[in-house]
């Protein structure tokens, strides 16, 4: 391999690493700029009732329950101070690292529902949404009981 080719590869690698670092810095600044607030007790109770209804609905209409779970999670995020955006990728990026995977996996199942996601996949997605929901509302007691 020629020296020019090696230099080209090294330069490309340095540029890619620089872009990755820049993206991480931008994301960190964006997250640190979020003015997140805890839910008021009344709001927490209202969201918890909505969540209970969505779980009950799962038996008869898992697809509708899954869509409602996404709406509830999005509404809780907005109430807590996350940006109210329609882009799920940006919404996911605003979540803490541990919650991102739950959101990503559950949302991907929701996107597959029109093409026939299995009931088991939808059940697993509801479990992921529930974990995310409990983290967002700050309900550690509910987590311990599931």
pLDDT in tens, 1-48: 888 777 777 766 666 665 554 444 334 434 446 888 999 999 999 999
pTM over the 0.75 mark: no
Number of residues assigned to the chain: 146
Which CB contacts under 8 angstroms, 24+ apart, belong to 45-50?
Answer: 47/72, 47/75, 47/76, 47/79, 47/133, 47/137, 48/137, 48/139
Residues 92 and 122 in one domain: yes
Q: What is the pLDDT of residue 4?
A: 78
Note down the domain range covering 15. 1-33
Determine the Cα–Cα distance for residues 23 and 11; give it in Å rounded to an integer. 18
Q: What is the pLDDT of residue 83?
A: 86
Residues 20 and 50 in one domain: no
Question: Minimal CA–CA distance to 65: which of 132, 115, 145, 130?
Answer: 130
Residues 56 and 84 in one domain: yes
Q: What is the pLDDT of residue 16?
A: 63
Domain of residue 114, CATH code: 1.20.120
Residues 113 and 47 in one domain: yes
The model's pLDDT over 99-134, given as tens digits with 9 standing for 90+, comes to: 998 999 999 999 999 998 999 999 999 999 999 999
């Amino acid at each position: 391999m020629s020296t020019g080719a090696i230099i080209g590869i090294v330069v490309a690698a340095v540029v890619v690493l620089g872009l990755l670092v820049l993206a991480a810095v931008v994301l960190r600044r964006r997250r640190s700029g979020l003015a997140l607030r805890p839910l008021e007790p009344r709001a927490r109770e209202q969201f918890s009732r909505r969540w209970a209804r969505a779980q009950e609905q799962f038996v008869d209409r898992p697809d509708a329950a899954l869509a409602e779970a996404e709406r509830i999670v999005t509404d809780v995020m907005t109430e807590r101070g996350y940006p109210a955006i329609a882009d799920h990728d940006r919404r996911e990026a605003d979540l803490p690292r541990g919650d991102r995977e739950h959101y990503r996996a559950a949302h991907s199942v929701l996107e597959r529902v029109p093409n026939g996601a299995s009931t088991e996949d939808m059940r697993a997605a509801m479990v992921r949404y529930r974990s995310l929901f409990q983290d967002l509302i700050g309900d550690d007691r509910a987590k311990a009981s599931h």
